[in-house]
């Protein structure tokens, strides 16, 4: 298990390879469809210090408010491929070092990982309450009224959030490797 303190340098991220297991400690920021669309259409300034050398988590958390504080009740990953049209531009503009989600991403994001010095971390789907337990504090929420709970930018301080590198800064993607192997087996089965 490789411990990553956030924010993290490009140099440290470039040491990671597909298959590495990591444990994140520091701030991660949730961003789903509406947040990504907003980022590429408006490039909001408040996002810059949140994401530089940081992590975007594709997550629509279930949150509970007690007084003025918010607690993550469930914080599982959402399917990342929906952000493929936006992610490379977001990564380049904000110098994001980690993208976290499930299911992997496409060739534009893989190229951005290589160009920017970033990785994609696959988080375990179906473990939303366990992942929420790694959120030790909700630091802030941005655009809650405008975007709603699942789409807002949530700043989570995490301690021990785990993931597996499935796309690295060296151009390797476990997702594309598995797709290639699956197609080859499919073709053999149906006689192509």
Nearest-CA neighbor of 39 among 100, 83, 101, 102? 83
CA distance 33 to 58: 9
Class of residue 65 by CB neighbours under 10 A (exposed 0-12, middle 13-18, buried 19+): exposed
Asked whether the beta carbons of 26 and 51 are under 8 A apart, the reply is: no
Q: Supply angle C-alpha 155, 118, 34, rounded to 5.
A: 45
Catalytic residue status for 36: yes
Of 36, 122, 142, 175, the catalytic one is 36
CA 130 from chain centre, in angstroms, equals 17
For the annotated catalytic residues, the residue numbers are: 36
């Amino acid at each position: 298990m490789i411990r990553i303190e956030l924010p993290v340098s490009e140099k440290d991220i470039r040491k990671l390879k597909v298959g590495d297991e990591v444990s994140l400690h520091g701030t991660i920021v949730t961003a789903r469809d509406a947040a990504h669309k907003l980022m590429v259409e408006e490039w909001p300034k408040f996002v810059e210090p949140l994401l530089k050398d940081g992590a975007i988590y594709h997550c629509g958390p279930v949150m509970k408010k007690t007084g003025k504080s918010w607690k993550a009740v469930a914080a599982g990953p959402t399917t990342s491929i929906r952000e493929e049209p936006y992610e490379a531009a977001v990564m380049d503009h904000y110098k994001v070092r980690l993208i976290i989600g499930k299911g992997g991403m496409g060739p534009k994001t893989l190229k951005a990982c290589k160009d920017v010095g970033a990785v994609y971390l696959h988080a375990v789907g179906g473990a939303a309450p366990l992942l929420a337990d790694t959120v030790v504090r909700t630091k802030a929420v941005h655009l809650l009224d405008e975007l709603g709970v699942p789409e807002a930018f949530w700043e989570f301080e995490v301690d021990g959030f785990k993931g597996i590198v499935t796309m690295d800064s060296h151009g390797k993607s476990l997702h594309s490797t598995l797709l290639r192997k699956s197609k080859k087996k499919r073709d053999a089965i149906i006689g192509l």
